[in-house]
Amino acid sequence: MTNVKQADIGKEYLELTGDETHERIAAQKKELGAQLLILCHHYQQDDVFNFADYTGDSLKLAKNAATSDRQFIIFCGVHFMAESADILTTDAQAVILPDLTAGCSMADMATSTEVEGVWQELAPLLDTKTVTPITYVNSSASLKAFVGEHGGSVCTSSNAERVLAWALRRGGRVFFCPDEHLGRNSAHALGIPADEVVLWRRGEKLGGNKIAALQKAKVILWDGYCTVHMQFSAAQIEQLRRDDPTIRIIVHPECRREVVQAADLYGSTETIIRAVAESPTGSHWAIGTEINLVERLARQFPDRHIRSVSNVACKCSTMYRINPAHLLWVLDNLAAGRVVNRITVDSRTAGFARIALDRMLTI
C-alpha cells in the first residue's frame, strides 16, 4: 500500500484567495476534460464538493470507480476509500488522494495484524470454518484482504444488514469489524438476541469475554467506532423532542444503539438525504451525522427546518484535510504530466480485497 508522506504544497497554494483557487481548479478541470473523474463523499466540504463529477456514500462511489474508464480518478474522501477505488479499477488508471493525511480513525482501530491475532485466538474455541468475517468499508485494504481470504465480505452502512444476513445464512456466526455500533444495530434489526451479540475488547484476553459467551454468540463485534458519530446522545434527542414535539430525528447507524433507538429513523447518508428530500414542506428535522452533510441539506431544502442533533459542529477532521488548495495542487501536477499522491494496493492484497468487495457488490 501507499506509504509516501504528504508533500508540502507550499505557500503558492495555501495563500491563494478562495476565488483564485476556485477559478484555477475550474480551468484545470476543463483542460483535463475526459481524462479526469472527481469523486466526492458527502462529508466533504462544499468548496471541494462542488467540483465533483459524482457524489455519494462509500458504496455509491465504489460503484462509480468500478465502472469508470477515466485515466485519473481523484477521490475526495479518505484513504480507505481511495484504496477501494484502486482495487476496483485497472492498472492503467491512477487513483489520487489530494492529501495523504486524510485517514480514518475507525479504520486505524483494526489492523489486519490485530484481527489475524484475534482469529487465531478464536480458533481453539470455535470452528472458524463456521465463522464469516465482515469488515465495514471503513477499513484498510489489508483488512479487506483478510476478510476476502477467509470467505467474508465488505459491507457499507447502506447494506450492512443484508451482508450480515447473508453471512449468518452462510456459516451461522459472524466476526464483524471494525465498527461495533454498525454491527450491533444491524444485528438488532435482524432480530438477533442481545445475549448472542458480544463485544471483543482490544487488548483483553478473549476480548474480555467468557468462553461460554463466545461459543453462544452469533455475532462477535470489534470495539471500533466513529469519533464523529460518538458525539450524539439519547439525551440530546430527548431535549430536541421537548423543545419541538414535531421534530423528526434521523441518525446514522454508526451511532450508539441507544441513539438509534431514540431516533425515528436511521440509515446511511443516502438514506438520510432521501428521507429529507421526500418529506413535506415545513418538516422539522434533526440529523445525527457529519455536519457538512447536515448544513448542505439545510441549504438545499430551505423550506424545511434542518439542524444537527448536536449543538456542537460534528466534523470529520480527517475528511476536512481534503481542501481546495490540495485539489488544485493535484490538478496542476496532472496538467504538467505528473501524477502525485497515487494510491496503490499491492496485487496480492488487492486480489483478496477485491473478492470481499465483489461479494458486497453482488449481495
The answer to whether residue 350 sits within a structural domain is no
pLDDT tens for 19-78 read 999 999 999 999 999 999 999 999 999 999 999 999 998 778 888 998 999 999 999 999
Q: How many domains does the chain have?
A: 3
DSSP string for residues in 297-349: HHHH-TTSEEEESSSS----TTGGG--HHHHHHHHHHHHTT---SB----HHH
Does residue 93 share a domain with residue 24?
yes
Task: Decide if 296 contacts 49 (C-beta within 8 A).
Answer: yes
**What CA–CA distance (Å, rounded) separates 360 from 363?**
5
| Residue 272, strand partner residues | none
Nearest to 84 by CA among 362, 356, 363: 356
pLDDT tens for 291-349 read 999 999 999 999 999 999 999 888 888 898 999 999 999 999 999 999 999 999 999 99
pLDDT tens for 130-157 read 999 999 999 999 999 999 999 999 999 9
pLDDT tens for 198-207 read 999 998 999 9
**What CA–CA distance (Å, rounded) separates 284 from 183?**
29
Does residue 190 share a domain with residue 121?
yes
Q: Residue 1's pLDDT is what?
A: 45
pLDDT tens for 265-279 read 999 999 999 999 999
CATH, residue 178: 3.40.50.10800
Please give the grid coordinates belonging to residue 136.
Answer: 465495514
Count of alpha carbons within 13 Å of 66, Cβ hemisphere only? 15
Instruction: Give the structural domain span for 247.
Output: 229-308
The answer to whether residue 92 sits within a structural domain is yes
Average confidence score pLDDT of the chain: 95
**What CA–CA distance (Å, rounded) separates 360 from 59?**
9
What's at 136, amino acid-wise?
Y
The answer to whether residue 279 sits within a structural domain is yes
Q: For cell 428535522, what's the residue?
A: 285
Does residue 115 share a domain with residue 52?
no
Query: Pairing mode, if any, of strands 131-136 and 265-266?
Result: unpaired
